[in-house]
Amino acid sequence: MLRVGYPSTLSAELFSDFPAGVELIAIPENLDETIEIDVWIPDFYPARAIRAWPHLRGVRLVLAMLAGTEWIPPLVGPQVTVCSARGAHNVATAEWVIAAILSMLKYFPFYQEVQRSGVWKRRFEASALYEAISGDTRPIYPPVLLEELTGKRVLLVGYGSIGKEIERMLEPFRVEMTRVARSARTEPAVHAAGELDSLLPDAQIVVLIVPYSEQTHWLIDQPQLALMQQGALLVNAARGAVVNTDALVGALQAGHIRAALDVTDPEPLPQGHKLWNCPNVLITPHTGAASPEAAPNALRTAAAELRRYMNGERLKNVVQAAA
């Protein structure tokens, strides 16, 4: 019988869809003894999973509950097959991206300040914010109090399953979509990552949803930020280190761009870090996939992968095949 270890923080009811012929073994949060398992479902939080790993023996397959698995192969080594939860969190993450874009274009962070102040007339300060970030000094009446998403030029950097879901959710806004992935494709048109610098100057919104790797480390650095047009919105739902934080802070403090971030580098972002107090930025503490459906969706994906594994079929979400 296949022994499957999972975090004890998850309810056993969530495993009702798992195939017969497996023994489910709850791994306690503070594991202090050796446990023999064949398949490991790591905790959602890497720090907890990393603490558990030295006590596990016999692991041949890892079924992650997150799409981002960059920390797992170095932990478990090349002899273990690692699968991601690709597809499980598409909706929640894509919805965060849409909400973040709309929040910034509708000036919600500013209007929260207005609400806390209790001064209605402060709303007209939005016109000055628009002029400062956009560089648009034309006399506009009535005063600008927000911006529209419809018709904006969006550069989608990363065209995996989440990127495609973001595109689907943006369709009602009739945006002009430009896609970027590791390599170029024709149907639909996707640009290669090497073309990124030539595409940045035309984008009004840049969405980052690439996997983190050596190739995407600091994909957005000072030169790329300088290429972005005045007032462009950078949305990072990938990993914090896809962007050079110091360069981003400089661009925000200079009033060149604005940003919506669900991920940061470092993460957690320390109290007092200068990024917290930058102008024109919305920060959420890595919340993008953490809906009530996160665990059920991830475990349905894991169950399907486990069935393929037990039946000797090709696995779907392999990020590392055992050497």
pLDDT digits (tens, 9 = 90+) for 5-63: 999 999 999 999 999 999 999 999 888 899 999 999 999 999 999 999 999 999 999 99
For residue 258, tell me if it sits in a domain.
Answer: yes
- Shared-domain flag, residues 261 and 192: yes
Of all residues in the chain, the percent with pLDDT exceeding 90 is: 97
- Shared-domain flag, residues 192 and 167: yes
pLDDT grade for 257, boundaries at 50, 70 and 90: very high
- Residue tagged active-site, from 286, 300, 307, 308: 286
pLDDT, average across residues 153-166: 97
For residue 272, tell me if it sits in a domain.
Answer: yes
- Shared-domain flag, residues 178 and 226: yes
For residue 137, tell me if it sits in a domain.
Answer: no
- Shared-domain flag, residues 96 and 190: yes
- Shared-domain flag, residues 182 and 52: no
For residue 128, tell me if it sits in a domain.
Answer: no
Count CB neighbours of 42 within 10 A: 28
Model confidence, pTM: 0.94
pLDDT attached to residue 219: 98
Report how far residue 148's alpha carbon sits from residue 305's, in angstroms, rounded to the nearest whole number. 42
pLDDT digits (tens, 9 = 90+) for 79-118: 999 999 999 999 999 999 999 999 999 999 999 999 999 9
Closest C-alpha among 148, 126, 134 to residue 256: 134
- Residue tagged active-site, from 36, 148, 176, 267: 267
CATH number, position 99: 3.40.50.720
For residue 130, tell me if it sits in a domain.
Answer: no
Is 239 designated active site?
A: yes
- Shared-domain flag, residues 161 and 276: yes
Do residues 93 and 289 lie in contact, with contact meaning Cβ atoms separated by under 8 Å? yes
Do residues 123 and 142 lie in contact, with contact meaning Cβ atoms separated by under 8 Å? no
- Shared-domain flag, residues 82 and 95: no
For residue 31, tell me if it sits in a domain.
Answer: yes
pLDDT attached to residue 32: 87
pLDDT digits (tens, 9 = 90+) for 266-277: 999 999 999 999
Count CB neighbours of 33 within 10 A: 6
pLDDT attached to residue 323: 83
What residues contact 301, with CB distance under 8 A and at least 6 apart?
A: 85, 86, 87, 88, 317
pLDDT, average across residues 236-265: 98
- Shared-domain flag, residues 220 and 312: no
pLDDT attached to residue 29: 87
- Shared-domain flag, residues 265 and 236: yes
pLDDT digits (tens, 9 = 90+) for 181-221: 999 999 899 999 999 999 999 999 999 999 999 999 999 99
Of all residues in the chain, the percent with pLDDT exceeding 70 is: 100
For residue 119, tell me if it sits in a domain.
Answer: no
For residue 231, tell me if it sits in a domain.
Answer: yes
Alpha helices in the chain (DSSP H): 46-52, 72-76, 90-105, 108-117, 125-134, 161-170, 196-199, 222-227, 245-253, 294-310
pLDDT, average across residues 246-251: 98
- Shared-domain flag, residues 175 and 237: yes
Q: Which domain holds residue 238?
A: 90-106+147-283
Is 286 designated active site?
A: yes
Report the DSSP beta bridge partners of residue 57. 36
Of how many residues is the chain composed?
A: 323
pLDDT grade for 170, boundaries at 50, 70 and 90: very high
- Counting the structural domains of the chain, the total is 2
pLDDT digits (tens, 9 = 90+) for 110-145: 999 999 999 999 999 999 999 999 999 999 999 999
- Residue tagged active-site, from 86, 89, 179, 239: 239
- Shared-domain flag, residues 31 and 98: no
- Shared-domain flag, residues 173 and 47: no
Flag whether pLDDT at 75 surpasses 90.
yes
Flag whether pLDDT at 287 surpasses 90.
yes
Distance of CA 156 to the CA centre of its chain: 13
